[in-house]
Every structure is written in structure tokens, then in C-alpha cells.
Structure 1
């Protein structure tokens, strides 16, 4: 499957007013792509388009609530009407309520699922006809490591991300069966320093935080741009996410014990915050139309992404590790005789 160079692409980015989506839009534009950005926050979209244009890029914006299919469809339709094609669809919109399950209302749970899962489904529904018309392209969906391993206090968000993983697995194989050269990628970030934790609802009595360590949004944006040119099934961003994924695969009980020890206190700051404080669950809120959140001081580097972006190096490292393990096993066997 061959994808176009980014400089020749038209890219729609949903959930672009802040965080990962905003950084991704800037990087696509800097690489020469024409971009259409979408979100509920018109001030955030306006400032983003102005920033892109000031850098010499080409961008338009569409206001949309992803829980409404017709509004999502309008993003794809207006992209093609403006630029004549759609090559890559990036879907990053999400919301959440960080609270014990028993304190979450049915309406709140449903809303998180509507935005964080159904919004992604609507995005694929809206984009696919245009990608098929183009003849190739990429669907890039921003999932989460919570699609592989749920966190306590985030039951609706984790449920939505697990649902997204199931949806993408099914869709990917259907497209392969129909022989469409359309790449379907799941990007699974670990804890990322975006305004997400400023904007979501919470009933912890304090401002929430992700379980450290944090990683910077640029790592996720770089993975997205890589997937736009290189067909990629899934991409875990952040070394801690890769470690958690490994633990979950070998022993879910061990993962349970780990999260029991760190995830409850690890999602709380010392800053008081009322559950009545403004949040973006049902309506957009102002003041957070930026890439980074408040936790740069907790951010650390991540190193394993370079392996994912360099398959020969990755397989070489795995082969070297396998040979090392085989040698150790052989040595142990001789000593045991």
C-alpha cells in the first residue's frame, strides 16, 4: 500500500483546537499539506488557522460536534469541496469524566461514549467514501493505552477506547478483504501533557491528572505524521505505555495490582476543584486552546518510537534480543545438566 507524501496531501484533523490535534495540524501544514481543522471551539480553530497561515500554510476550519453524524459528515464534505480530495483523516476528539463509577450519571457516561467512541465511528463513516473516491488514503484514529488497559476512575473513557479498538480491528479487515488501499491506524498514547485534564469533568474534589510519567504532545504528532505516509496498524506512544501493554499481555492480575498501588493517588493533584467547575463534556469551554497542559515538569523523553519508525532497526533489535535470550537459555541448560 502506497500513501502520498505529506506535501501532496489534503488532511482533515478532528479535535484540532487544542492538544494533540492542534500540534498535529501545525506539523502537517509545516510539511506542506493542506489542512482542514475541526472542533467545537471556534476561537481555538480561528487562532489555529491564523497560526498556520502566518507560517505560510494552507488551512480552513469547520465547527463541529462529533456526537452528531451530520456535523462530522460536513467536515469531510467541506474538505473535498474546498480542496478537491481527502487523503488522510485524523480523529482526535475526546472527552471524559474522571470519577468513581458510582458517581457518574447515565447521561455523563453516555456522553463520553458518544464523543469518544461514536464520534470516531462517525468520522470513519464520513471519510471513507471520499478516501475510496481518491483511491487510497489513511484513517488515523487517536485511541489510548486505555484501549488496551483500563484505568480506575476513568470507566467511561476506557470503555469508549476499548470499543474503538474493536471497531478499528473489524474495519481494517473489511477493507483488506475488499482490497481497498486504505490504511487504518490506531495511535495509542500513554499519558500526554495536553489540556485534557484541565477540560474534562471530575468528581474527585481536586484537579485530576494523568498517571505519570507524562510525554509531550509532539511525540504523538510525529507518530501521526509517520502513519500518514507509512501504513501502520497501531502505534503505542510513550515507553511507559509500551511497558504497561507488555504487563497487561503477560499478566492482567499483575496490571491490576500495579494500578491498585499507583492509579488512585496518581490521578489526583493537590489543587481543589469542584465537580461544578466548567468542563467540556457537554459544551466547549474557553481558555485551553493550546497544545500543552500544565504538566511539562512531569514530562520525560521516550525512546522506543524511533524503533517503530525504523522497521529494519526494530526487527534487528528484536532479533538481537531473541538471540540473547536463546543464549541465556542455552547457558542455563548446560549449567543445569
Structure 2
């Protein structure tokens, strides 16, 4: 399966006003791709397009709520109307609630599913006809390691990401059966320092956090750009994500025990935050339209991502890489205990 070089591509990026989507748009544009950026936040999209134009790039913005199929369809249709085709679809929209399951209302749970799962489904539905017409292309879906291993206090988000994984597995096999040259990629980040935790609705009484360590958004966008040119089934971002994947396969009960010990207090900061604070469950939060979140001090590098992007080196060095990943995890734990 062959994909175009990035400078030859027309790329639609959904969920582009902040975080991974925003950085991906900037990186694609810097590499010469024509980009269409979509999100609910009109101010966030406007500032993003302005930034891309200042870099000399070509970008078009579309305001859309991914929970509405017709609005997602407009993104794909306008991309083709503006630039003549669609080569890569990157879908990163998500929303989340951090709360015990019994405190989540049916409407709130459904909203997370509508945005974080159904939005991804709608994206594939509207992008596929255009990609097939081109005879090739890439569907790149930003999933999560929570699609492999659910976390406490995030039942709706974990459910949505598990749904994304099941959906993509089914779709991928159907396309292979057809002999289609459309690549379907699931990118599964570990904990990334984006405004995700600023935007989440919390009922913990405090600002939520991911379980450290964090990784920089640039690691995820590295994976996005790589898979836009190199067909890839799955891409786990972050050494700790790979370790978690191994542990979950070996002993889910062991991971259960770890999360009983660390998964509750570990997702809470000391900063007070009420359930009435601004969150992006139903409306965008324009003040969070930026790439990075508030946890840069907990960000560490990742060793194994580079190896995944350079497969010609082979995974004969996998043993040393995994060893390095474990050392990175231990170092991060020591850092956290000291701070």
C-alpha cells in the first residue's frame, strides 16, 4: 500500500483547535500539505489558520460539532470542494468526564460516547468515499491507551475508546477484504500534556490529572505524520503505554491491583475545581485553545517511539528499548515521589 508524500497531500484534521489536532495541523502545513481544520471553537480555529498563514501555509477552517453527522459530512465535502480531493483524515476530537461512575448522569455518559466514539465513526463514514475515489489514502484515528486498558473515574471515556478500537478493527478487515488501498491507523497515546484535563468535566472537587509520567504532544504528532506516509495498523505513543500494553496482556488482574492503589489519588491534583467550572462537554472552552496543557514539569522523553518510526533498524534492539522504557518509568516514579 502506497501513500502520498505529505507535501502532496490534502489533509482534514478534526478536533484541531487545541492539543494534538492543533499541533498536527501546524506540522502538516509546515511540511507543505493543504489542511482543513475543524472543531467547535471558532476563535481557536481562527487563530490556528492565522498562524498557518503566517508560516506560509494553506489552511481552511470549518466550525463543526462531531456529534452531528451532517456537520461532519460538511468537513469532508468542503475539503473536496476547496482542494479537489482528500488524502488523509485525522480525527482527534474527544471530551471526557472524570468522576465516579455513579455520579455520571445518563445524558453525560451519552454525550461522551456521541463525541468521542460516534464522532470518529461519522468521520470515517464521510471520509471513506472520497479516499476510495482517490484510490488510496489514510484514516488516522487518535484513540488512547484507554482503548486497551480502562481507568477508574473515566468510565465513559474508556468505553468510548474501547468502542473506537472495535470499530477500527472491523473496518480495517472489511477494507482489506475489498482490496482497498485505504490505510486505517489507530494511534494510542499514553498520558499527553495537552489541555485535555483542563477541558474535562470533573466531579472530584479538584482539577484532574493523568497518571504521570506525561509525554509531549509532539510525540503524537510525530506518529500522525509518520502514519500519513507509512501505512500502520497501531501506533502506541510513549514507553509507558507499551509497558501498560504488555502488562494488560499478561495479567489484567495485576493492572487492576495497581489501579486500586494508584488510580484514584493519582488522577487528582491539589487544585480545587468545581463541577460548574468551564468544561468542553457541551461547549468549547476557547481559553484552552493551545497545544500544551499544564503538566510540562511531569513530561519525559520516550525511547521506543523513535524505533517505531524507523522500522528498518528492526526490533532486534527491542530488549534494550523495553529495558530503557522500564528505567524511564522507574525514574518518573522516583521523580514524582520527590515532588
TM-score range, shorter chain: over 0.9
Instruction: Report the equivalent of 1:85.
Output: 85
C-alpha offsets along residues 51-84 of structure 1, whole Å, 9 cap, x if unaligned? 0000000000000000000000000000000000
Q: Post-superposition shift, 1:200?
A: 1.1
Instruction: Report the equivalent of 1:137.
Output: 137
Please report the TM-score for the alignment, with normalisation by the length of structure 1: 0.94
C-alpha offsets along residues 147-200 of structure 1, whole Å, 9 cap, x if unaligned? 000000000000000000000000000000001100000000000000010011
C-alpha offsets along residues 297-316 of structure 1, whole Å, 9 cap, x if unaligned? 01001110011111132333
CA distance in 1, matches of 2:214, 2:205: 22
Instruction: Report the equivalent of 1:272.
Output: 272
1:83-232 to structure 2, matched below 5 A, reads 83-232=83-232
C-alpha offsets along residues 196-253 of structure 1, whole Å, 9 cap, x if unaligned? 1001100000000111000000000000000000000000001111111110000000
CA distance in 1, matches of 2:278, 2:320: 52
After superposing on structure 2, the runs of 4+ consecutive aligned residues of structure 1 that deviate more than 3 Å are 318-321
Instruction: Report the equivalent of 2:335.
Output: none
Does 2:284 match 1:292?
A: no
Instruction: Report the equivalent of 1:233.
Output: 233
Which moved further from structure 2: 121-130 or 309-318? 309-318
CA distance in 2, matches of 1:248, 1:316: 23
Q: Post-superposition shift, 1:262?
A: 1.2
> Which structure has the larger Rg?
1
Runs of 5+ unmatched residues, structure 1: 322-337
Does 2:18 match 1:9?
A: no
Q: Post-superposition shift, 1:319?
A: 8.5
Q: Post-superposition shift, 1:127?
A: 0.2
CA distance in 2, matches of 1:266, 1:225: 32
RMSD: 1.3
Question: What is the aligned length?
Answer: 322
Secondary structure of 1:236's match?
strand
Runs of 5+ unmatched residues, structure 2: 322-339
CA distance in 1, matches of 2:85, 2:207: 42
